[in-house]
Amino acid sequence: MNALSPGLTEDSALNSLPTPVQEMSRAWHEGGWTPAGRLTTPADIGNAVTLLCADEAGWIAGQVIAVDGGASLMDTVFPLEIQRG
């Protein structure tokens, strides 16, 4: 069994946060916090699921796969300005 660990994702709980928080979070990721330069999309998660369902991935077992454009290499998901409250 495997699991996916997506990063902050467009069209997710992010959209329920106040608009300034959404904008700061997107700018944070697009500004270089995430090496891929953007937030995770539902399509990114679907692509990872497709990969794991392929016969060629049959030897991948017991893994938690980060689907976050490299954000997990960094320290946090939300900008420090938000965390300081």
Predicted confidence band at 77 (pLDDT cuts at 50, 70, 90)? low
Q: Looking at residue 74, what is its pLDDT? A: 75
73 or 21: which leads in pLDDT: 21
Which tens digit of pLDDT belongs to each residue from 25-55?
Answer: 999 888 887 888 899 999 999 999 999 999 9
71 CB neighbour count, 10 Å cutoff: 23
* 3-class SS of residue 65: strand
42 or 84: which leads in pLDDT: 42
- Measure the CA–CA gap between 69 and 71, rounded to whole angstroms: 6
